Structure 1
Amino acid sequence: MTDAYYDLVDTDDPRGERFTASDHVISTWGPDMQNAAPVSALLVRATERYAARADTRLSRVVVDLLGPVPVTGDLWVRAEVERPGRRIELISAQMLAAGPDGTPRPVATASAWRFLRSEPLALPPSPATPLRPVAEGRRRLPDENTERTYIQSLDWRWLNDILHSEQAECWARPLVDLVAGEEMTPAQRLFAVADIANGMGSRLDTGAYTFLNTDLAVHINRLPDGPWIGVRSENHYGADGVGVSRGMLFDQTGPVAAVQQAQLVRRRG
């Protein structure tokens, strides 16, 4: 198996760059669907590379999951400029996969604002309390008897009980590349982890409930430095099964982004 979430198969396909996925992308919700983290990171890659400008960086990215992204078969990713501009531009990206009739159809989209960088400014620091250091985290290894999923593709350091704490905290870093043979950019590394916020602090029995997210919205105040991404997350539920996961993302020097996700909460069975 490749030590990456995806292999780039064809850069010249008219539908977009063509990829295949490895087992590292498999969602914990089902063996035939991908976790949203690799999907969102691959879409972010497209928004960074399309009409790339060294004087800009991503500010806000919203990923919408239009349905289960299949693990097997070809995937196509393409991007375009929605709103051009010298200081502010909007880039959209789309992932396609074969539908029931074999015809490629959109399965996920991303909308990304790219902002012009300025000279360094003397601005106030973030008021968010930093996470405790990575060294204080407890390493969590997946059960050897479990099937391979995205969860096993991360190196985890739990700062508390991330399943049952009201405000869950941990550090994580991908153990594999996003695309085989490529080094991840800071933004790609951030999105390769960001989606875990949905499962943290749920306080729900995963044997009794599912809590699927349909989107991932991330506002980036600073690109992360270093391999570790910290996550602080909390969940808010309505009795009608609609919820929201809300949190902050960190590197080892402080907060880098805010993350929010919509949730569909349902009983199993």
Structure 2
Amino acid sequence: MGPFAGLQGGAVAGLLVHQLEIEGAKLGLGFPASVSVEFLRPTGPGVLQTTCEVTRKGRRVSVLSGTVIDDGKVSARASVVFITKTEIGSIEPIPRMALAPDTLPVLPNRKAPHGGPWMMDNFETRRSEDGIAWFRYTDDIVEGVTPLARILGPADWTHGIGRPSQPRLADPNVNLQIAITHFPEGPDIGIRSNTTWMSSGIGLGSGTLLDRNGPFGQVMMSVALTPFG
């Protein structure tokens, strides 16, 4: 579960993107460089169905799209862009960093607002002095989870990591967008987050995705701020 009604967005997105990645591998479409997910309605626990269709199949760039169906209704949809790799020798490799998240202490588990089990129970979390929040799965979203799908669980918390201290505001994100240059190395996924809250009730979450060697992608989402009571 997530903190609000329905399953956590990263779990819903991860399930769908896992299936799209598997199909992309079967078709030989290349590297899954970006994903855009829209959460159309809360997804409840139970039996879920996923769909997949080829939106475009090109020599260099291809797109697969799909939906999550819950109780006969589409609750989420996603598109994954695949790019076939090509070597460009004139570009220098990005210098590697040494962030060592495994040396940081594990933080106490956060409890769900609803008092039940939730997606955060699937992570060990750590935080570095420079503000990076680190996530390490204790249980995967699905068995044999694919690399891009694995990123979505932590990434969906980006706006919550930098959430302003306003306890009477719910902050559900309505979408999730990720672009990466390569898959993260090691078990830890880090997020350096930033948020913007507007009096109109529109919020924005964004962040840099990191592994132990440095940045590997970006994440962004829109947030529908909702007052409690």
Confirm or deny a common fold (TM above 0.5): yes
Q: 2: distance between equivalents of 1:177 and 1:229? A: 13
Q: Is the 1:154–1:174 contact (alpha carbons within 8 Å) kept by the matching residues of 2?
A: yes
Q: Is the 1:168–1:201 contact (alpha carbons within 8 Å) kept by the matching residues of 2?
A: no
Give the drift of 1:54: 4.6
Q: Is the 2:38–2:175 contact (alpha carbons within 8 Å) kept by the matching residues of 1?
A: yes
Alignment of 1:1-80 (within 5 A): 26-30=1-5, 33-52=6-25, 53-54=27-28, 56-71=30-45, 73-80=46-53
Q: Look up the equivalent residue of 2:148 and give its one-letter code.
A: A
Give the drift of 1:105: 1.3
Q: Look up the equivalent residue of 1:140 and give its one-letter code.
A: L
Show the counterpart of 2:109: 142
Structure 2 counterpart of 1:241, from 187, 190, 201 = 201
Residues 136 and 213 of structure 1: is their aligned pair in 2 closer, same or farther, counting only changes over 3 Å? same
Q: Is the 1:50–1:80 contact (alpha carbons within 8 Å) kept by the matching residues of 2?
A: no
Q: Secondary structure at the residue paired with 2:58? A: coil
Residues 197 and 225 of structure 1: is their aligned pair in 2 closer, same or farther, counting only changes over 3 Å? same
CA displacement 1:149-181 (0-9 Å, x = unmatched):
111111111225xxxxxx8421101111222xx
Structure 1 counterpart of 2:65, from 81, 92, 102 = 92
Residues 34 and 131 of structure 1: is their aligned pair in 2 closer, same or farther, counting only changes over 3 Å? farther
Show the counterpart of 2:128: 159
Q: Is the 1:174–1:192 contact (alpha carbons within 8 Å) kept by the matching residues of 2?
A: no
Give the drift of 1:51: 4.6
Q: 2: distance between equivalents of 1:211 and 1:200? A: 11
**TM-score with structure 2 length normalisation?**
0.89
Q: Look up the equivalent residue of 1:252 and give its one-letter code.
A: R
Q: Is the 1:217–1:261 contact (alpha carbons within 8 Å) kept by the matching residues of 2?
A: yes
Q: Secondary structure at the residue paired with 2:141? A: strand
Show the counterpart of 1:114: 82
Larger % of strand: which?
Answer: 1
Q: Secondary structure at the residue paired with 2:132? A: strand
Q: Look up the equivalent residue of 2:150 and give its one-letter code.
A: R
Show the counterpart of 2:170: 210
Q: What runs of 5+ residues in structure 1 fail to find an aligned partner?
A: 1-25, 99-103, 161-166
Q: CA RMSD in A?
A: 2.3
Aligned length: 226
Q: What runs of 5+ residues in structure 2 fail to find an aligned partner?
A: none
Show the counterpart of 2:135: 172
